[in-house]
A and B are shown apart, each in its own frame.
Chain A
Amino acid sequence: MTSAFAPQPEFLRLTRLHAFYGESHILHGIDLSVAKGECVTLLGRNGAGRTTTLKAIMGMVGRRTGSIMLNGNEVINVPTHKIARHGVGYCPEERAIFASLSAEENLTLAPIVATGGMSVEELYEMFPNLKERRNSPGSKLSGGEQQMLAMARILRTGAKLLLLDEITEGLAPVIVKKLGEVITELKQRGFTIIMVEQNFRFAAPLADRHYVLEHGEILATISREELPGKMDWLHRTLGV
Chain B
Amino acid sequence: MEIFGIPTALLGSQLLVGLINGSFYAILSLGLAIIFGLLNIINFCHGAQYMMGAFVAWIALTRFGINYWVALIGAPLIVGVVGVLIERLMLRRLYKLDHLYGLLLTFGLALIIEGIFRDQFGISGESYEVPEALTGGVNLGFMFLPIYRGWVIVASLIVCFGTWYMIERTKLGAYLRAGTENSQMVQALGINVPLLITFTYGYGVALAAFAGVLAAPIFQVNPLMGSNLIIVVFAVVVIGGMGSIMGSILTGLGLGLVEGMTKVFYPEASSVVVFVIMVIVLLVRPAGLFGKS
Instruction: List residues of chain A with CB under 8 Å of any chain B CB.
Output: 58, 60, 79-81, 84-85, 90, 92, 96, 98-101, 105-106, 109-111, 113, 153-154, 157
Contacts and interface: CB of A to CB of B under 8 A. Distances in A.
Contact of B184 (A80, A110, A153): A80
A113 B181 contact: no
A157 B188 CA distance: 12
A60 B174 contact: no
A80 B178 contact: no
A165 to B, nearest CB: 11
B177 A60 contact: no
Interface in B177-234: 177-178, 180-182, 184-194
Contact of A85 (B178, B180, B190, B194): B190
6 contacts: A60-B188, A96-B185, A98-B182, A109-B174, A109-B186, A110-B190
B236 to A, nearest CB: 22
B247 to A, nearest CB: 13
Given A58-B188, A98-B182, A157-B190, 7 more contacts: A79-B194, A84-B188, A99-B181, A100-B178, A106-B178, A109-B186, A110-B191
Contacts of A98: 177-178, 181-182, 185
A58 B184 CA distance: 10
Contacts of B177: 98, 100-101
B174 A84 contact: no
Among B178, B185, B190, residue most surrounded by chain A Cβ atoms (within 10 Å): B190
A58 B190 CA distance: 10
A79 B195 CA distance: 12
A122 to B, nearest CB: 19
B218 to A, nearest CB: 36
B175 interface: yes
A60 B184 CA distance: 7
A206 B156 CA distance: 58
A178 B184 CA distance: 28
Nearest to A159: B190
Q: Which 4 A-B pairs have the closest CB atoms?
A: A84-B190, A110-B189, A96-B185, A98-B178
B185 A105 contact: no
Among A79, A81, A157, residue most surrounded by chain B Cβ atoms (within 10 Å): A81
Nearest to B182: A96
Contacts of B174: 101, 105, 109
Nearest to A58: B188
Contacts of A92: 185, 188
A109 B181 contact: no
Contacts of A154: 189
B158 to A, nearest CB: 24
Nearest to A85: B190
Nearest to A95: B185
A96 B178 CA distance: 10
Given A101-B174, A109-B174, A157 B189 contact: yes
